[in-house]
Amino acid sequence: MATINLGNIKFKWQGAYNGATSYTLDDVVSYNGSSYICIQASTGNLPTDTAYWEQMSQAGTNGSDGTDLSTTLTTQGDILYRDGSGLQRLGAGTSGQLLQTGGTGANPSWTTFSSDFVKLGETGAVSAQSSVSLNGFFSSTYKIYKVYGYHVWSNVSGNAGYFRANTTASYTPASSAEYFYAGDGYYRASGANGTNSNHGWSQSYGRLGWTGGGSVGRSNNFELTIFDPEGSNYKKFLSHVTGWDGSATMYHMVCGNHWRNSTAMTGIEFSMNTGDISADNIIIYGLKA
């Protein structure tokens, strides 16, 4: 009865091909990323010689099937994606951009973030200045602007918050046009509540909302809305102010302003009716209409 060597009826992995090795039937080797099985014993015949070898698996093309992407991804920040024919490289976008899909059947791309409500600038911390300005932020991109101030105060008592519109390329305040204002407020003092209202017009300033009284160090937080500052219609403003007088009085006021001037605004200046203005921050945002 014949003897069968079970080792000769299965594949025998021999590792990477070596031209000096004698290979026998069913030996399997790797060569240039592919695998081959010996179909005829030989020595020194490359696996690509079909008289002695038969291919079992084939290496893909470098850079297109994930086996070697170094030829496709060449630069730090590259992203790999597939287009209609194969894998492709998307180079890094500019700082702050976001990756955007084009939907089914389209390639991804970098895009600049866009929003309907965007921070445009701020004053930063200031101390004891006669005025603080936000200039050069108005444009046709936005029709409404929000200005927020916090911890804004005067260095003397009896302060009131004022603003003026800047109207020239050099940001000169318009002080000769009429500002009409009407405000109403509510306060809580030590042991008593009350109201505070004011209205009228000023030849030089608009009002943020808070009026005289209070002590040095009186802290105010305000929100000012500016409508269509570059338009030709008369300008309208709306302010909300909350604060305290440094001791025990807390208040909230709303004040509307109408500026009888059709000149485009280039900026806005903040000040106090008496003393200098101090502010931790005044920030401006643009809002698309």
pLDDT value of residue 247: 65
> Which two tokens mark 1?
């009865």
Over the range 27-41, which residues count as b (16 or more CB within 10 Å of their CB) and which as e? bbbbeeeebbbbeee
pLDDT value of residue 242: 85
- Looking at the chain, the whole-number percentage of residues with pLDDT higher than 90 is 42
pLDDT value of residue 218: 62
Lowest mean pLDDT among 79-83, 155-159, 174-178, 270-274: 155-159
Query: For 202-225, what is the mean pLDDT?
Result: 72
Q: Which residue has the tokens 């965007």?
A: 118
Would you give the DSSP letter of residue 9?
A: G
User: What gap in Å lies between CA 75 and CA 161, rounded to an integer?
Assistant: 54
CATH architecture of structural domain 117-287: Sandwich (2.60)
Cα-to-chain-centroid distance, residue 151: 26
User: What gap in Å lies between CA 60 and CA 167, rounded to an integer?
Assistant: 67
| Domain-wise residue ranges, the chain | 11-57, 64-114, 117-287
User: What gap in Å lies between CA 243 and CA 213, rounded to an integer?
Assistant: 12
Please, what's the largest Cα pairwise distance for the chain? 123
Question: Per residue in 124-144, pLDDT tens?
Answer: 777 788 889 999 999 999 999
Task: Say which CATH topology domain 11-57 has.
Answer: Seminal Fluid Protein  PDC-109 (Domain B) (2.10.10)
What 100-109 contacts at long range (C-beta under 8 Å, 24+ apart), as own/partner pairs, is 107/81, 107/83, 108/79, 108/81
Question: Per residue in 57-75, pLDDT tens?
Answer: 887 655 445 456 777 888 9
Distances (CA, A) of 199 to 128, 185, 186, 254: 28, 12, 15, 11
Label residue 252 exposed, middle or buried (CB < 10 Å: 0-12, 13-18, 19+): middle
pLDDT value of residue 214: 44
Torsion of CA 245, 200, 272, 160, to 10 degrees: 0
Lowest mean pLDDT among 47-56, 152-161, 273-282: 152-161
Question: Per residue in 89-138, pLDDT tens?
Answer: 999 998 888 999 989 989 999 998 778 899 999 987 777 888 899 999 99
